[in-house]
Amino acid sequence: MKILLTRKIHDFAIKELKKKYDVEVHTGKIPMPKNLLISKIKDKDGLICYPYDSIDADVINAGTKLRVISTYSVGYDHIDVKTASSRGIVVGYTPEVLTRATADMTMALILALFRRIPEGDKLVRNDKWSTIFGPYEFLGTDLYQKTLGIFGMGRIGKAVVKRASGFEMNIIYHNRTRLTKNEEKRLGIKYVSFENLFRDSDVVSIHSPHTPQTHEIINLKLLNKMKRTAFLINTARGKIINEKDLATALKRRIIAGAGLDVFQKEPINSKHPFAKMDNIILMPHSGSATIETRRKMAEIAIKNLELLLADKKPIYQVIV
């Protein structure tokens, strides 16, 4: 059987795959150009892909022999799962293992914004330390008793609750379905409407999937409801935010700042409007990027592929 990887994966995984399959790894431009992907998928039985690949109907239908798509991610909004399913192609993914790492990244962005970490680092390197000795200079904000608003209370949202509780933050949330009263009590969180989440939070963190319902749900109208001192964090999916509107809100200081790990079209570069702003922290989609987590993701991604190609139940399968 032939398989295609749209990018290099861990060496142990490639070695493992090569024992069983004829393996082709794309090493050129990332994401893999669509024409190339379409031509390469034609004779493949399996595909291992990444969140920035667009596995749309054109790609799926070009894969006339394709049986399995295994994504190295928990998110699968980059795959047209409906088309895949209509063709009998099964999609595997890697949830759970990256929950903690992504929640850690969320806290890292919150702390970096509240305590001005990137600014402080720059200041020291640029010989400006002696300019900030005054009592009002270079002050950040306490996390203690500030309100964290979480949009999307799934696995990652709950892991953020655990961490933010340790910092003694007040936590409110909004989710498509409200949790049970018992679970809210156990987590120490309060359910609020979507609009109130933005109105009342000192920092809003996004943890919902990208779906047609959440597409660009965060727009200027909503950002205008936020406190001028508030921050916005996104470690979920870039397409949940209207980036033009966020840039406007940051430029006009409608909100104080943002910490983003994900973008509408990845990768972004220095020409992106966000790259010119000083009230935003940018990360290169690294929520799951720890040694331990990425290895586990690779293990699951190849295992899902192997099991599915052997007509067995995978570890994790996307259900449509």
List, by residue number, the catalytic residues: 237, 266, 285
Rounded least distance, CB 77 to ligand DGY, Å: 9
| C-beta of 199 vs 295, nearer to ligand DGY | 295
| C-beta of 51 vs 157, nearer to ligand DGY | 51
| C-beta of 103 vs 255, nearer to ligand DGY | 103
| C-beta of 238 vs 257, nearer to ligand DGY | 238
* 226: nearest Cα among 196, 252, 191: 196
| C-beta of 3 vs 300, nearer to ligand DGY | 300
Burial class of 58 by CB neighbour count within 10 A (0 to 12, 13 to 18, 19+): middle
Quickly list DSSP for 248-283.
HHHHTTSSSEEEES--SSSS--TTSGGGG-SSEEE-
Rounded least distance, CB 53 to ligand DGY, Å: 12
Rounded least distance, CB 208 to ligand DGY, Å: 12
Rounded least distance, CB 73 to ligand DGY, Å: 3
Rounded least distance, CB 233 to ligand DGY, Å: 14
Quickly list DSSP for the chain.
-EEEESS---HHHHHHHHHHSEEEE--SSSSPPHHHHHHHHTT-SEEEE-TTS-B-HHHHHH-TT--EEEESSS--TTB-HHHHHHTT-EEE---STTHHHHHHHHHHHHHHHHTTHHHHHHHHHTT-GGGG-STTSS-----TTPEEEEE--SHHHHHHHHHHHHTT-EEEEE-SSPPPHHHHHHHTEEE--HHHHHHH-SEEEE-PPP-TTTTT-B-HHHHTTS-TT-EEEE-S-GGGB-HHHHHHHHHTTSSSEEEES--SSSS--TTSGGGG-SSEEE--S-TT-SHHHHHHHHHHHHHHHHHHHTT---SSB---
Rounded least distance, CB 27 to ligand DGY, Å: 20
What are the structure tokens assigned to 203, written together?
């920092």
Binding site for ligand DGY (CB under 6 A): 51, 73-75, 98, 285, 287-288
| C-beta of 43 vs 266, nearer to ligand DGY | 266
